[in-house]
Amino acid sequence: MSIKLRYILLTGLFAVALQPLFAQTLSDGKTVVKNALLTPRDDQMLLTMDVCLDELKLNHEQSVVLHPVLVSLDNNIRVPFDPLVIDSHAQYVLYQRGLSNLVYTNVRHVEHKKNKPQTVSYLSTIPYESWMDSYQLLIEEDLCACGDLSSMPFVPSVRRDVPPNALDLIALVNATPAPVKPTLNLHGTAYINFVVDRWEMKPDYMDNRRELRKITDTLDIMVEDPNITVREVKIHGWASPESPYKHNTMLATNRAKSLTEYVKKAYNLPADVFAPAEATPENWIGLRQAVDEMTSAELPHRTEILQLIDKVLADLDNNITNQADRDELTLKTKYPQEYRYLLQNVYPGLRRSDYEISFDIRKFTLEEALQLYPTRPQHLSLYELWQVANTYEPFSDNYNEVVQRTYIIYPDSAVALINLANVALHQGDKLKAETLLKNAGESAEAYNARAALYILQERYDDAIRMLDRAEQLGIDVNRNREAIRKMLPYKDRK
């Protein structure tokens, strides 16, 4: 018996969400395959199709076998679906009586209805494997049902019913910072030591040289850099709570003045750069923070001491200063063991000098910013960093690196948070994006980014709510609304 076998070749790519339906006539010129549909479902690949036999002619002893096979694009892997056998009436009777001599296994037999319209619905599954993201589907036709296969390709055509990739559908809108260069502020703390009950600044006393360098090293860099203008230097002194409050007021104020004058004389800066010295006579705020961080094992009466400190702070907030000495005496006499511990281990750190330096960095052209970025990106404003980022392809490695660096330099900027969240969304990192967007503000770009996150999380109602807010604030959100429309049919699929 001669062998007559043909196949149709169907190709597909996972990235293509939907291709047109097809109706493909097989090589016998009579059998037509329609509506071929490949669907990944859990760990299975499901194939459904309609096989139209209206024009098929079979002789008395003939069976035809349709054998779908999924093949990798490099043709190295072949995985067959279950064969479909179309029997003539006589062959179907033999099959029912167990007398069929087919070489195929796991087959479905269908009796051909001679001279009548007939369409057979086919369904079969195979285990899903990663290479099936791209494939060829071969539908082989064995006209003798003998299994000796040879083949010839037909016109490629297939539809694969897979959820679209949401990342390909959503529109991410980056935030644009204002083209301004704001005055910057640098804060620090120096622990300057003074002789007991004195306020003269002695650079060589104890560790003062090291502590002074915290201030002077910073100012040295600023003064020497022609791109930086120092606007203000402000020093605030703190004293610990022991001794009378009035005496501490005088001591803390004069020590802050002494340190301010020392720094002022060291630099050739305009006199008005140095703000009048400020002081807090007793650092009960720092004491409370230190006690709050201790355990009851370290401080047995920790709760009672915190209550006493809170009372002092409340009085000081109301400018009631005459109670501070009494409360400090209560702490000393009622809890002597804890007081000695605090005096030795906590009070020294309460005597400190906070400094704040306000400065301007001049504006840079884009060319200057590109030259400066590799070595001194902290000199660039948010807008200048945004300009540098946009010299690269959006979401390229270089672009992402600049956006990440911008966030490091300006961690409290809503613009930096939004743009880095968009990078995370583009990379599919939903957890990072969600964390960043918590503090990203109420701008249109922030709401759009939250909508994109919710689309990726399949929280479509929340996404629509965010898009409504973004649209009210002036952003075109039609593409993201369309993304939701395309994703919704797949929401409940598993």
Rounded CA-CA distance 278/288 in Å is 21
- pLDDT at position 24 is 54
C-beta separation of 487 from 463 below 8 A: no
230-281 residue pLDDT tens:
999 999 999 999 879 999 999 999 999 999 999 999 999 999 999 999 999 9
Query: Which residue has tokens 């022609």?
Result: 226
Using a cut of 0.85, tell me whether the model's pTM lies above it: no
> With pLDDT > 70 as the criterion, what percentage of the chain qualifies?
87
C-alpha 34: how far from chain center? 43
Other CB atoms within a 10 A radius of the CB of residue 393 amount to 9
Q: What is the pLDDT of residue 449?
A: 97
pLDDT tens digits, one per residue of 418-428: 999 999 999 99
- What is the per-residue pLDDT for 361? 93
Segment 12-39 mean pLDDT: 55
CATH tag, 363-490? 1.25.40.10
Domain covering 184-359, topology: 60s Ribosomal Protein L30; Chain: A; (3.30.1330)
162 band by pLDDT with thresholds 50, 70 and 90: low
Helix axes 460-472, 478-487, angle to 10 degrees: 170
Q: Is the pLDDT of residue 21 over 60?
A: no
Mean pLDDT of 109-119: 89
Q: Where in the chain is the domain with CATH 1.25.40.10?
A: 363-490
Q: Which of 138-147, 188-197, 481-490 has the highest mean pLDDT?
A: 188-197
Residue range(s) of every CATH 3.30.1330.60 domain in the chain: 184-359
What pLDDT was estimated at residue 310?
95
CA–CA separation, 123 and 140 (whole Å): 16
**Residues 173, 473 contacting (CB under 8 angstroms):** no
Assess contact for 40 and 60: CB atoms under 8 A. no
- Angstrom CA distances, 418 to 348, 412, 481, stand at 42, 11, 20
* Average of per-residue pLDDT across 394-409: 96
SS3 annotation, the chain: CCCCEEEEEEEEECCCCCCCCCEEECCCCCCEEEEEEEEEECCEEEEEEEEECCCCCCCCCCEEEEEEEEECCCCCCEEECCCEEEECHHHHHHHHCCCCCCCCCCCEEEECCCCCCCEEEEEEEEECCHHHHEEEEEEEEECCCCCCCCCCCCCCCCEECCCCCHHHHCCCCCCCCCCCCCCEEEEEEECCCCCCCCCCCCCCCCCHHHHHHHHHHHHHHHHHCCCEEEEEEEEEEECCCCCCHHHHHHHHHHHHHHHHHHHHHHCCCCHHHECCCEEECCCHHHHHHHHHCCCCCCCCCHHHHHHHHHHHHHHHHCCCCCCHHHHHHHHHHHCHHHHHHHHHHCHHHHCEEEEEEEEEECCCCHHHHHHHCCCCHHHCCHHHHHHHHCCCCCCCHHHHHHHHHHHHHCCCCHHHHHHHHHHHHHCCCHHHHHHHHCCCCCCHHHHHHHHHHHHHCCCHHHHHHHHHHHHHCCCCCHHHHHHHHHHHHHCCCC
pLDDT tens, residue by residue, 47-86: 888 888 888 888 888 888 888 888 887 788 889 999 999 8
